[in-house]
Amino acid sequence: MSRLKIALASGDGIGPEIMDATLLLFKAAGVMDHAEFVPVEMGASVFAKGNSRGMTDEAIRTVEDCGILFKGPMETPKGGGGKSINVTARKLWNAYANFRVFKTLPGVETVYSKAGLAIDMSIVRENIEDTYGGVEQRLTSDVVQCKRLISAPGCDEVHRFAFQTARKLGLKKVHCGHKANIMKMSDGLFLERFRAAGRDFPEIELADVIVDALCMNLVVKPQQYQMIVLPNLQGDIVSDLCAGLVGGLGFAPSANIGSNISIFEAVHGTAPDIAGKGLANPTSLVLSGIMMLRHLGLGAQGSTIENALLATLESGIHTGDFGDKSKPSVGTTEFMRAIIERLGSIPKTVPAAPAPDASQPSFIRPPKPATQQVIRTFKNLVTHVVGCDIYLDSSLAPVALAEEMQKACADTPFKLTLISNRGTQVWPTGSIYTECVDYYRVRFELKDSVTPGTFGQARCIALLDKIAEGFTVCSYELLRIFDGMKGYSLAQGQ
């Protein structure tokens, strides 16, 4: 059988040294008998050449040909317009589920290990949508906007992955973390699709928790959670919180799973202050590599490496960032040599990783799509236009603005029903204590005498055009009903 090809990006800062050490470990464990690592150009050196993606065209082709990317930590340029290469890679290749496992490790002391509390949980984070779309605009002199996009197909993908993974791991309960009490439509959709996906996994108990309460619970009683699935931004924050429970990002592996391409990476920083000094802790990258090996079907090699790592940690060998300070620390190379020396050993103080029989790669690169795919969840819904929200740059007071808007819609099918500012209703009712900025949402809905479905959005556009003659229109959103259900939210105080 030909060897699997894996795209390899060593990273920036400490990335090359921890990657070189990890590849030495892989070679000693027999991984190179089944896999070939193909270097690709990504990171700071590519940004420095003026490439705002941070990766060359050849690197993109190689990753797409391989279907797997193994990468070290990478630097995001400060200023200059270049975006995070980590986010770009996940979104470019639709690695929609970020999977991170958090376990108490021997030799890594935390407040929980001191209390005798062993942590073993995982976070599944939606990886494509939410505010990570990076869709932002300056709307007025004083207001900027970041759009938060949540889609039903995006939710379905990540929830299916979470439940499938929970089933493989034998987990009995999965929580959905959310803020649906406030963001009733976006987080509400995420929670609704969680429950829909869970119906196909009757052996797994479903639960949900509001994200702020979740953060408190994780600090107070983390052992109550086995797996938590969250939207992108909340998942980013909570997964770093969980890393702190087990000793920090240096002990937190990360996998980004897609239908076609998956990325395994160290998620900690590039640590430029110690780069090139041979002091870096490679544990996170090793753990991410173990996840990759299991994903590829090399479970035996993955378990052998994991057990050797655990045996090394419980022996007290440590790099300078953790461990018993009364014992001298070792550098990156010495730490990795210690793991290599223990290949074939099993830990004595913690459960060993199950060691399957000798593995052969089972990963099959999916066929390359002919074109970009449009994914759908809800189809053939009956929709009707019932109005529009028009967003204005205006320094008028709400009452004065209402007078102008009522004049604008006087001879149209619409009536003015709401003016809000920063999401809070300021007309027709409101408080004089509500401070307003120069950005208003003005809502027009059908007059009582007009039947939904009698026209499309053209009349809304005509109203928009009329208002634009006297006001700066920042944006507009169509108001529609979907199978009789409102597709828009109320304002605070409405």
Tell me the two tokens of residue 198. 């869970």
Domain contains 288: yes
The Cα 367–Cα 65 span in angstroms is: 10
Write phi, then psi, for 195 (nearest 5 degrees): -65, -35
Q: Which of 14, 10, 8 is nearest to 250 (CA)?
A: 14
Please determine, for residue 1, whether its predicted confidence score (pLDDT) is greater than 60: no
Question: Does one domain contain both 273 and 369?
Answer: yes
Predicted confidence at residue 366, as pLDDT, reads 86
With tokens 């429950």, the residue in question is 195
Question: Does one domain contain both 125 and 220?
Answer: yes
pLDDT in tens, 123-139: 999 999 999 888 999 99
Domain contains 106: no
Tell me the two tokens of residue 385. 């236009």
Please determine, for residue 444, whether its predicted confidence score (pLDDT) is greater than 80: yes
Domain contains 209: yes
Last residue of a domain, one of 335, 358, 378: 378
Report the Cα 410 to chain-centroid distance in Å: 46
Burial environment of residue 193 by CB neighbours within 10 A (0 to 12, 13 to 18, 19 or more): buried
Are the C-beta atoms of residues 77 and 44 closer than 8 Å to each other?
A: yes
Domain contains 77: yes
Q: Is the sign of the CA dihedral 278, 280, 281, 284 positive or negative?
A: negative
Question: Does one domain contain both 127 and 213?
Answer: yes
Beta-sheet pairing, 4-9 with 68-71: parallel
Question: Does one domain contain both 81 and 134?
Answer: no
Tell whether omega for the bond before 253 is within 30 degrees of 0, i.e. cis: no
The Cα 17–Cα 167 span in angstroms is: 36
Q: Which domain holds residue 52?
A: 1-96+246-378
Please determine, for residue 415, whether its predicted confidence score (pLDDT) is greater than 80: yes
Please determine, for residue 205, whether its predicted confidence score (pLDDT) is greater than 60: yes
Tell me the two tokens of residue 271. 């640590």
Tell me the two tokens of residue 326. 């009364």
Question: Does one domain contain both 8 and 81?
Answer: yes
The Cα 99–Cα 122 span in angstroms is: 7
Distances, alpha carbon 123 to alpha carbons 86, 99, 147, 338, in Å: 18, 6, 24, 30
Question: Does one domain contain both 392 and 471?
Answer: yes
Predicted confidence at residue 76, as pLDDT, reads 78
Please determine, for residue 79, whether its predicted confidence score (pLDDT) is greater than 90: no
CB atoms within 10 A of CB 22: 27
pLDDT in tens, 24-66: 999 999 999 999 999 999 999 999 998 888 999 999 999 999 9
What percent of the chain clears pLDDT 70, i.e. is strictly above it? 99
- What rounded mean pLDDT belongs to the chain? 95
Last residue of a domain, one of 209, 243, 277: 243
Question: Does one domain contain both 287 and 374?
Answer: yes
CATH number at residue 432: 3.30.70.1570
Domain contains 190: yes
Report the Cα 372 to chain-centroid distance in Å: 21
With tokens 């799509």, the residue in question is 369
Q: What is the band of 83 on the pLDDT scale with cuts at 50, 70, 90?
A: confident
Please tell me the total count of domains within the chain.
Answer: 3
Residue scoring higher pLDDT (193 or 53): 193
Domain contains 492: no
Predicted confidence at residue 302, as pLDDT, reads 96
Q: Is the sign of the CA dihedral 165, 269, 133, 231 positive or negative?
A: positive
Average pLDDT value for residue range 417-433: 96
pLDDT in tens, 305-317: 999 999 999 999 9
Average pLDDT value for residue range 170-188: 97
Question: Does one domain contain both 358 and 388?
Answer: no
Tell me the two tokens of residue 300. 């035996």
CATH number at residue 372: 3.40.718.10
The Cα 436–Cα 433 span in angstroms is: 9
Predicted confidence at residue 82, as pLDDT, reads 64
Average pLDDT value for residue range 95-122: 96
> Which residues are registered as beta bridge partners of 136?
146
Question: Does one domain contain both 239 and 342?
Answer: no
pLDDT in tens, 323-366: 999 999 999 999 999 999 999 999 999 999 987 776 778 888 88
The Cα 325–Cα 318 span in angstroms is: 9
Question: Does one domain contain both 238 and 256?
Answer: no
Domain contains 113: no
Q: What is the band of 148 on the pLDDT scale with cuts at 50, 70, 90?
A: very high
Question: Does one domain contain both 350 and 391?
Answer: no
Domain contains 114: no
Q: At what angle do helices 299-314 and 283-296 cross, to 10 degrees?
A: 160
Question: Does one domain contain both 270 and 215?
Answer: no
DSSP state letters, 21-76: HHHHHHHHTTGGGTEEEEE--BSHHHHHTT-TTSB-HHHHHHHHHHSEEEE---PP
Are the C-beta atoms of residues 68 and 296 closer than 8 Å to each other?
A: yes
The Cα 301–Cα 306 span in angstroms is: 9
Last residue of a domain, one of 347, 378, 409: 378
The Cα 279–Cα 18 span in angstroms is: 9
Report the Cα 235 to chain-centroid distance in Å: 6
Q: Which of 39, 36, 129, 62 is nearest to 90 (CA)?
A: 129
